[in-house]
């Protein structure tokens, strides 16, 4: 059962300097209970994808094309009030830098209850509080946190509280956008364990977004690699790690230092991601591609081609051979 | 923390003394004195003038007078008014103060509330067409040339339409048989307003604990109705019943000044709220609130506006401080005999004791308010406390 | 070394261009700018008209000009009771083209005759776009003169005030300790004095012309509350890491003050300056309105004259004496305020539209 199907999603932002195409022709599916990862460097469009899923993009962003089918319904084009019902009780999100997700003048418990009040208007305060305490148990927070203000908590505690907040309305799908980037490694490990535990216990689907490929490897069943707004490779995580086909994916995996073995000079990618303002068709990675051959023609159209079970690669017509 | 407070208090006292001395010197530098009119009277022999001057000690050199004044001040002796002898400045101030307070307390409350509301809505509708022209209108409302505007209002509502009285705060004819002074009525009006406000605030704070939002709104509305009924009851009983028609007379005279000043005053709060809200709106937790599925109105009111409240309330406190200074113009134009007019008159007539007393009053008022604001800043931001010794 | 300076200049120029682009995107700022430019135009227009001879100084000078306009008036006698068949209210008699016989002292004319009299104040006509006041002076010329006064006064006192408060505020933030305490108390002292009565007192013993008033307003404003605000801004800059690194690399205190702290305080100071202009213009208008100043002609003075001569309550009959001056003050101060808002959007990215 597919909980989420994204088909040909296109989103762009209007800026002073022009129209920025942040998401180009992105398609993927997430099954119930599955954990799906999206990896890519900063600015590749992964956060924009996350925002579009909840229609939370900034005022100057617009979905120009595509469908997002959540639990059978296309949520692109829904009215604001219909969207508000989907938000949080259908899909919830843990933001990057979630520490700032809290309103500094309102208590934590009240902020969580507020979400619950919106989606479960008939529950009493006691029922809500009991549920919050349950959630705190799952994420590992003390019950006293309910009456605390955000500035009284440490970074890790705030992060756990955000996860509890995301779970508060029993969503079917959670999006985690780099939830551990701002934390130290020890806490990062704890939080990742919490998320995995939560997912198993509650049977949720998870979309995990990160630029850290190691975390993706650990956390996800299926994944997609994004570059310059497009998905360049998509498939089961194990398969992609064993058999990367796109040059970008290969470069990404190669640049991860290995803890074992001899000390080698780090391989890195030269150059910068292309500007997303000028719509260029064709291979956007060609300028930086270290595997470029003479037969490579960057202006040819790209499409996703299946090369293994469920394993898709973004390839130009020349590369199909 | 306590050392800080102590230091500040001790500095405050020094400043206050400097203030007293500065004020006295300023008053003295105005050419002439309060009794010059005596010289105009041809029947009075010149010695009479000299005698009066001597009697009031105005022939002594400046430094001696300043010293004497400060000495007397510390003993609580503020002298007698030169022009309204034998009234003391304290009597005059206590007579005039309630009138000013009544007027400007109402104005500030209404202006603050409407200003906050409008600023909140303006910031939320950022970028829309209506936002631009409403903001521009607010700006012009803020910078409108006040005396001109007040005169226009007087002319329009008072003269042309004859709806509202042109100045003064009561109709003398109606008060001929009054068994008491206007001051008594003012005091009871102020008491009433204060009680109502406090009750309303208590209700507001108390109902914050109610979970369901529609319940909360209903309770608050019900309390408002109850307060309205209670006030009717309050004013129709006993002694207040007799005062009622006089209070109504005063209230009737208050309408135009309150309206005029509010038009100018609300704009300041509205613009400040708008700016602050616009900054708050860019914060991350607003995005989270949207993600939670809350309605726009709720996000605006319970998240953005609550955070924008802090600077606005601070500015409100500072506005209270400048009440009397601001009232000078209004009271002059509307002939409303309050503190502002008192200060102006005493300065013009060189009634030094009254002028000094009024200035001292304002000075103390300002110092205390700034002091409280300072302390709360230091409490909230330790960095400022450590960095500055002041 | 030369190259470095050129690079710095280039960066500065680009920054100014970018700021200008940002300012242009602010609707409020642009509206304000147009208004200010309009009044600036008026300011310059008057001397040009005089110099080029289009306007005869004898007639159009705002203070001493005189324009004769004669018109026929019908002599009437105003009844005691109203309304009558000819007039609705007391203020309707005498009408615009009539004159009450009781006010005629130098003529033997009888009721029903027409006499020729000098029409002052005259309503707008082709010669006088906004009419003349009761002394025969062209109102439009007065407006332009008032505009000159407003700009000179406003800019002068604002510059002075902001200059003082910036220097004092930065010194207070930077040196701390006793100096800071003293400056803060001094601000407190100024803040304690009520502004309007203070200006009254000053006007009583000093003759206040434009320059004097500008200095007074500037000093009072500069020494007052703005010192505290600039000081807190400078404090925020002071704790930023780059100041510490500047100290460590051996920058002298003065150097740090000028090349690091001041540029960061400058936006706030600029904002203050724009808002100070509005305060200065308003103060001058109020003081003129109360008759306390010795300025030859300003907008506040125009309204003062209108009130003293009793034209305010005549309502719309003599609107050109009342409306242009009041509206000018409102709009010019509003214009400066809007420019200030626009600058706010330039300096504070959170306030921008996108």
Cα–Cα distance for residue pair B62/B352, rounded to 1 Å? 13
Q: What is the pLDDT of residues B260-275, one digit of tens each?
A: 888 888 888 888 888 8
Contact across the interface for B294 and A119, Cβ inside 8 Å: no
Cα–Cα distance for residue pair C297/C294, rounded to 1 Å? 9
pLDDT for the residue numbered B389: 37
Chain C positions touching A15 (Cβ under 8 A) are 354
Instruction: Tally helices (H) and strands (E) across chain C.
Output: 13, 3
pLDDT for the residue numbered C134: 78
- β-sheet with A18-31: strand ranges across: A18-31, A2-15, A61-70, A73-74
Give the model's confidence band at C38: pLDDT under 50 very low, under 70 low, under 90 confident, else very high.
very high
Highest mean pLDDT among A104-113, C135-144, C156-165: C156-165
Neighbours of chain B (3+ CB pairs under 8 A): A, C
pLDDT for the residue numbered C290: 83
Assess B230–C contact: CB distance below 8 Å, yes or no.
Answer: no
Q: In sequence order, what are the beta bridge partners of A236?
A: A222
Percent over 90 (pLDDT), chain C: 9
Cα–Cα distance for residue pair A288/A284, rounded to 1 Å? 9
Cα–Cα distance for residue pair B92/B339, rounded to 1 Å? 9
Chain B positions touching A118 (Cβ under 8 A) are 292-294
Q: Which of A101, A112, A175 to mutate to test the interface with B (most CBs of B within 10 A)?
A: A101
State whether residue A75 is helix, strand or coil: coil
Q: At what angle do helices B213-235 and B238-280 cross, to 10 degrees?
A: 150
pTM: 0.80
Non-local (6+) Cβ contacts of C166 within 8 A are C230, C262, C265, C269
A48 within 8 A of A11, measured Cβ to Cβ: yes
Q: What is the pLDDT of residues C274-304, one digit of tens each?
A: 888 988 898 888 888 888 887 888 888 888 8
Contact across the interface for B388 and C231, Cβ inside 8 Å: yes
B313 within 8 A of B307, measured Cβ to Cβ: no
Assess B307–A contact: CB distance below 8 Å, yes or no.
Answer: yes
Mean pLDDT of C90-104: 69
Mean pLDDT of C242-247: 73
What count of CB pairs under 8 Å joins A to B?
66
* More confident site: A223 or B386: A223
Q: Which residue of C has its CA nearest to A15?
A: C354
Taking every pair of C-alpha atoms in chain C, what is the biggest distance, in angstroms? 95
Q: What is the pLDDT of residues B304-343, one digit of tens each?
A: 877 777 677 777 777 777 777 778 888 888 888 888 888 8
Q: What is A175-213 written as a DSSP string?
A: EEESTTTTS-HHHHHHHHHHHHHHHHHHT-EEEEEES-H
Least confident of A5-14, A138-147, C64-73, C191-200: C64-73
Highest mean pLDDT among A30-39, B64-73, B92-101, C308-317: A30-39
Chain C positions touching A13 (Cβ under 8 A) are none
Which residue in B283, B284, B295 is closest to A84 by CB distance? B295
Contact across the interface for B306 and A84, Cβ inside 8 Å: no
Mean pLDDT of A3-11: 85
Assess C350–A contact: CB distance below 8 Å, yes or no.
Answer: no
Q: At what angle do helices C299-308 and C262-289 cross, to 10 degrees?
A: 20
Q: Report the DSSP pairing between strands C70-76 and C98-100.
A: parallel
Q: What is the pLDDT of residues B132-167, one digit of tens each?
A: 888 888 889 888 888 888 888 888 887 777 777 776
Chain B positions touching A103 (Cβ under 8 A) are 285, 289, 303, 306-307
Whose tokens are 């007379």? That residue is B249
| Chain A residues whose C-beta sits inside 8 Å of any chain B C-beta | 54, 56, 59, 80, 83-89, 92-93, 95, 97, 100-106, 113-115, 117-119, 124-125, 165
Nearest CA to CA, how far is B126 from chain C (Å)?
7
Least confident of A201-205, B68-72, B316-320: B316-320
pLDDT for the residue numbered A9: 86
Nearest CA to CA, how far is A19 from chain C (Å)?
14
The two structure tokens encoding residue B315: 């500015």
The two structure tokens encoding residue B254: 């208050």
A112 within 8 A of A165, measured Cβ to Cβ: yes
Chain C positions touching A59 (Cβ under 8 A) are 354
Tell me which residue of C157, C117, C121 sits closest to C136, measured CA to CA. C121
Cα–Cα distance for residue pair A133/C257, rounded to 1 Å? 54
Backbone angles phi and psi of A13, in degrees to 5: -110, 140
Chain B positions touching A59 (Cβ under 8 A) are 127
Taking every pair of C-alpha atoms in chain A, what is the biggest distance, in angstroms? 69
Backbone angles phi and psi of C252, in degrees to 5: -75, 160
C340 within 8 A of C271, measured Cβ to Cβ: yes
Q: Which residue of B has its CA nearest to A124?
A: B211
∠C20-C24-C30 over CA atoms, to 5°? 120
Chain A positions touching C354 (Cβ under 8 A) are 15-16, 59-60
Which residue in A100, A117, A119 is closest to B284 by CB distance? A100
B217 within 8 A of B281, measured Cβ to Cβ: no
Neighbours of chain C (3+ CB pairs under 8 A): A, B
Question: Residue C124: pLDDT above 80?
Answer: no
The two structure tokens encoding residue A314: 């973004």
Average pLDDT, chain B: 78
Assess C354–A contact: CB distance below 8 Å, yes or no.
Answer: yes
Q: Which residue of B has its CA nearest to C197?
A: B344
Nearest CA to CA, how far is C134 from chain B (Å)?
19
Q: What is C45-70 written as a DSSP string?
A: HHHHHHHTTSS-HHHH-TTT-----E
pLDDT for the residue numbered C89: 67
Which residue in C176, C299, C333 is closest to B143 by CB distance? C333
Mean pLDDT of B282-288: 84
> A100: how many CB neighbours lie within 10 A of its CB?
18
């Amino acid at each position: 059962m597919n909980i989420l199907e994204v088909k040909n999603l296109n989103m762009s932002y209007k800026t002073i300097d022009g129209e920025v195409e942040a998401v180009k022709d992105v398609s993927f599916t997430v099954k119930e209970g599955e954990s799906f990862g999206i990896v890519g460097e900063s600015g590749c469009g992964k956060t924009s994808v996350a925002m579009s899923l909840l229609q939370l993009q900034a005022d100057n962003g617009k979905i120009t094309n595509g469908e997002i089918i959540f639990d059978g319904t296309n949520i692109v084009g829904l009215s604001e009030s219909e969207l508000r019902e989907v938000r949080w009780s259908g899909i919830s999100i843990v933001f990057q830098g979630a520490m700032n997700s809290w309103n500094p003048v309102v208590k934590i418990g009240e902020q969580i209850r507020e979400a619950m009040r919106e989606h479960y208007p008939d529950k009493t305060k006691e029922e809500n509080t009991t549920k919050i305490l349950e959630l705190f148990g799952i994420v590992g927070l003390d019950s006293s946190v309910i009456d605390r203000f955000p500035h009284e908590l440490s970074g890790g505690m705030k992060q756990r509280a955000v996860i509890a907040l995301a779970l508060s309305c029993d969503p079917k799908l959670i999006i985690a956008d780099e939830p551990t980037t701002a934390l130290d490694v020890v806490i990062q490990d704890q939080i990742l364990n919490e998320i995995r535990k939560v997912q198993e216990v509650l049977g949720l689907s998870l979309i995990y977004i990160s630029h850290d490929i190691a975390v993706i490897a650990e956390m996800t069943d299926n994944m997609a690699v994004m570059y310059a707004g497009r998905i360049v490779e998509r498939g089961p995580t194990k398969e992609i790690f064993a058999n990367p086909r796109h040059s970008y994916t290969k470069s990404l995996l190669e640049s991860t230092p290995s803890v074992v073995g001899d000390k080698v000079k780090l391989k890195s990618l030269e150059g910068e991601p292309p500007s997303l303002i000028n719509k260029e068709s064709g291979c956007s990675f060609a300028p930086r591609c270290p595997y470029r051959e003479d037969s490579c023609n960057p202006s040819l159209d790209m499409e996703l081609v299946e090369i293994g079970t469920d394993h898709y690669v973004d390839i130009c017509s020349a590369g199909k051979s | 923390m306590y050392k800080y407070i102590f230091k500040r208090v001790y500095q405050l006292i020094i400043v206050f003394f400097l203030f007293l001395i500065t004020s006295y010197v300023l008053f003295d530098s105005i050419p002439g004195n309060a009794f010059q009119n005596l010289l105009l009277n041809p029947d009075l022999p010149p010695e009479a003038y000299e005698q009066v001057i001597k009697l009031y000690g105005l022939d002594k050199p400046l430094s001696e007078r300043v010293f004497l004044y400060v000495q007397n001040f510390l003993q609580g002796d503020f002298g007698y008014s030169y022009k309204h002898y034998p009234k003391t400045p304290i009597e005059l101030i206590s007579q005039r103060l309630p009138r000013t307070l009544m007027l400007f307390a109402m104005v500030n409350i209404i202006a603050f509330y409407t200003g906050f509301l409008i600023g909140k809505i303006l910031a939320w509708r950022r970028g829309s067409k209506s936002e631009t022209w409403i903001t521009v209108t607010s700006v012009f409302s803020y910078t409108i040339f006040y005396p001109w505007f007040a005169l226009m209002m007087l002319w329009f509502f008072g003269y042309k339409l004859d709806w509202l009285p042109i100045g003064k705060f009561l109709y003398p004819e109606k008060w001929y048989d009054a068994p008491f002074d206007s001051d008594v009525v003012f005091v009871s009006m102020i008491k009433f307003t204060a009680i109502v406000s406090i009750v309303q605030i208590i209700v507001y704070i108390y109902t914050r604990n109610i979970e369901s939002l529609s319940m909360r709104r209903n309770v608050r509305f019900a309390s408002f109705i109850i307060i309205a009924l209670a006030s009717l009851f309050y004013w129709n009983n006993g002694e207040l019943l007799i005062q009622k028609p006089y209070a109504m007379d005063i209230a009737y005279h208050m309408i135009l000044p309150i309206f005029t000043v509010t038009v100018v005053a609300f704009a300041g709060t509205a613009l400040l709220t708008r700016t602050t809200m616009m900054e708050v709106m860019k914060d991350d937790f607003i995005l989270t609130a949207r993600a939670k599925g809350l309605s726009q109105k709720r996000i605006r009111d319970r998240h953005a506006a609550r955070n924008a409240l802090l600077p606005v309330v601070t500015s409100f406190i500072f506005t209270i401080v400048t009440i009397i200074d601001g009232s000078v113009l209004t009271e002059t134009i509307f002939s409303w005999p309050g503190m502002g007019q008192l200060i102006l008159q005493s300065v013009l007539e060189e009634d030094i004791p009254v002028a000094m007393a009024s200035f001292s009053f304002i000075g103390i008022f300002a110092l205390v308010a700034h002091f409280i604001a300072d302390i709360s800043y230091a409490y909230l931001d330790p960095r400022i406390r450590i960095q500055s010794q002041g | 070394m030369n190259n470095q300076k050129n690079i710095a200049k280039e960066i500065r120029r680009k920054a100014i261009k970018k700021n200008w682009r940002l300012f242009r995107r602010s609707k409020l700022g642009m509206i304000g700018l147009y208004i200010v430019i309009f009044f600036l135009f008026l300011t310059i227009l008057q001397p040009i008209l005089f110099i080029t001879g289009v306007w005869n100084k004898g007639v159009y000078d705002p203070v001493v000009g005189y324009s004769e306009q004669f018109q026929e008036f019908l002599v009437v006698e105003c009844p005691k009771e109203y309304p009558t068949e000819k007039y609705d209210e007391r203020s309707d008699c005498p009408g615009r083209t009539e004159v009450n016989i009781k006010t005629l002292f130098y003529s033997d004319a009888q009721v029903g005759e027409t006499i020729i009299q000098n029409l002052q104040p005259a309503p707008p006509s082709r010669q006088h776009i906004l009419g003349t006041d009761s002394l025969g002076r062209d109102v439009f010329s007065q407006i332009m003169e008032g505009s000159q006064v407003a700009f000179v006064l406003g800019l002068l006192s604002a510059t002075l005030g902001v200059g003082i408060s910036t220097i004092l505020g930065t010194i207070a933030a930077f040196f701390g300790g006793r100096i800071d305490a003293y400056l803060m108390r001094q601000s407190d002292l100024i803040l304690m004095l009520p502004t309007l009565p203070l200006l009254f007192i000053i006007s009583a013993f000093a003759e206040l012309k434009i320059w004097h008033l500008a200095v007074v307003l500037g000093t009072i404003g500069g020494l007052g509350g703005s010192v505290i605000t600039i000081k807190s801004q400078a404090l925020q800059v002071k704790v930023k890491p780059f100041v510490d690194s500047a100290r460590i690399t051996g920058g002298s205190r003065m150097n740090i003050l000028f090349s690091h702290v001041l540029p960061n305080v400058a936006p706030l100071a600029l904002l203050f300056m724009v808002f100070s202009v509005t305060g200065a213009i308003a103060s001058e208008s109020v003081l003129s309105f109360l008759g306390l100043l010795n300025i030859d002609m300003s907008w506040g003075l125009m309204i003062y004259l209108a009130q003293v001569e009793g034209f305010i309550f005549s309502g719309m009959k003599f609107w050109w004496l009342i409306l242009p001056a009041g509206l000018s003050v409102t709009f010019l101060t509003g214009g400066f305020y809007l420019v200030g808002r626009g600058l706010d959007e330039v300096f504070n990215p959170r306030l921008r539209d996108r």
